Chain A
């Protein structure tokens, strides 16, 4: 019998939303306890800051340029490499429960397997997962959660915020107390909300296994991604009026706009509502209209969602404890990408490679019975990436790491990281949407974040961003053109291109907006 693996992901969760990472708004005692027992990573960066490319990296262990899911709406081929398949072939029972999003969600022709299982009354298999049970951010669409809610509690279907508007654009409609975009009073009972459903279904699947089964379970919560519509019964946990503004928010408008103007021009263009370069932000919402109270309220609702996730994880862990197998389970907790969360006066996400979107939570609690040499409460400060997750799962399972994985098993401390060359992490952005193209390549190394801009509709390829994370942790001073850092910039860019795999050509087509 080997080590069992519980891989927990959330969607669009900032690093600073966990207590163990310094967060002060959401209470996250369960994940904090996992960090105290295991390893907490302070510099996990995704290889993409949107869902489909990022999740494709998690399952393949590859850079975006290699797996080829270069923007949302590009499907990961059904026969793409999958760590779940590797583990399943090694005898592991495998499941994904919650949000998959390896394939486009807007799929009226039902061309993608993810969108067909629930309608067929089936649960996979798919991508190496023998059990594939899906959910997303509400009750719309063809996934298992939506079907379940419609069948069992149809009166609740319309309680969720409509994520898309009548034009199938990300909805800009405001709600809550402040009119913040995607804030919403959701009268759904907590027990019917998708967070609890994901935990319930995970427990149910775990109960279907034999005691001596080895298993890999990807429990994938759709929250705290917008819309910010947690069950109304839970909203009172945190009064938004008491929530401090995030450190990344610049209250003085003149100063905020000066900082935005020091960055490549699509930053200010989006802020002013002149260009929305990507589908993931509401088309008709103008960030310059965002108020401090709206940031407080969305931050509070986001924190409520984080608390619900923490409690749901706690229920699953309690169940494992009751079954007597928790000590045999490796638990890895992370998210697919971050959320701007009011930084620079912005919400949502897009081609903006700063900490709000790139610095992510990652906790690894090795199975206590494995006797891996991990000191409790270890912190790794060196950069790691999502592409290191799949090789880590292989190592936990005692399976040889396939040649197609491009990452390395996660380090267990900084000494291990230094010995195995965890020096840099790369992040890519490509989007081509209705005539607007943006292309970024980013390296994070030696305490600097350096982004090169490739030619696009708003950039000529000479622009860039360079931030000193030690002196400027909020990334307000763009030193790309600072002569004092010219040599460093050149070195980082050379290192970036030495390690950045070439994009697989021809580019695969964008088959839906998301």
Chain B
């Protein structure tokens, strides 16, 4: 059975700055609590969780124009998975970031989606820590 989870957060930082971090596939481990490494090889990304679980992923889209990043976890436990990060310019030097998770089985949407909620909080914390382009 299919499940969907969506989390969003507003960040006091221009969209281009947020996208520079959130749209960089290799830097996921910098802002997703519980992911200790994220290595990219072409369209394949392998993340390793803090509990030691390696999770292979396929990068499906990294659209610098729309500022959309999409990937899917390819572990056998998933009949379907799609993660989508949308970085939306609110045209007031702030940004809305939406992190959506679709999964079958549905419980995995909650398990992964719970992590994405924490990731958005960490992304906001890091982005608002400095208003300069130091990231």
Name A residues whose Cβ lies closer than 8 Å to a Cβ of B.
Answer: 73, 104, 106-111, 115-116, 119, 142, 164, 166-169, 279, 283, 434, 509-513
Contact = CB atoms under 8 A, between A and B. Distances in A.
A216 to B, nearest CB: 30
Given A107-B111, A108-B34, A510-B110, 16 more contacts: A73-B110, A73-B114, A104-B114, A106-B111, A108-B51, A108-B53, A108-B115, A109-B35, A109-B51, A109-B115, A111-B118, A166-B77, A168-B108, A279-B107, A511-B113, A512-B111
B129 interface: no
B51 A512 contact: no
Contacts of B10: none
Contact of B114 (A110, A283, A510): A510
Interface in B61-101: 77
A350 to B, nearest CB: 16
A109 B105 contact: no
A172 B79 CA distance: 20
Contacts of A512: 110-111, 114
B107 A109 contact: no
B1 interface: yes
28 contacts: A107-B51, A107-B111, A108-B49, A108-B51, A108-B115, A109-B34, A109-B49, A109-B50, A109-B118, A110-B34, A110-B49, A110-B51, A111-B33, A111-B34, A111-B50, A116-B50, A119-B51, A142-B51, A166-B77, A166-B105, A168-B105, A168-B107, A283-B1, A509-B7, A511-B115, A511-B117, A511-B118, A512-B114
Nearest to B7: A509
Contacts of A283: 1
Contacts of A104: 114
Contacts of A510: 110, 114
B56 interface: no
Interface residues of B, number: 24
Nearest to B106: A434
Interface string B1-41: 10110010000000000000000000000001111000000
A164 B53 CA distance: 19
Contacts of B107: 106, 164, 167-169, 279, 513
Q: Which of B1, B110, B118 has the most CB of A within 10 A?
A: B110
Contacts of B49: 108-110
B115 A111 contact: yes
A144 to B, nearest CB: 15
Contacts of B34: 108-111
A457 to B, nearest CB: 15
Contact of A513 (B7, B51, B53, B110): B110
Contacts of A73: 110, 114
Q: Which of A106, A142, A164, A168 has the most CB of B within 10 A?
A: A168
B105 A167 contact: yes
Contacts of A108: 34, 49, 51, 53, 111, 115
Contacts of A115: 51
A288 to B, nearest CB: 20
A386 B83 CA distance: 40
Contact of A509 (B4, B51, B117): B117
A73 B112 CA distance: 12
A164 B111 CA distance: 14
| 8 nearest CB pairs, A to B | A109-B34, A511-B114, A167-B105, A168-B107, A110-B50, A110-B51, A109-B115, A111-B34
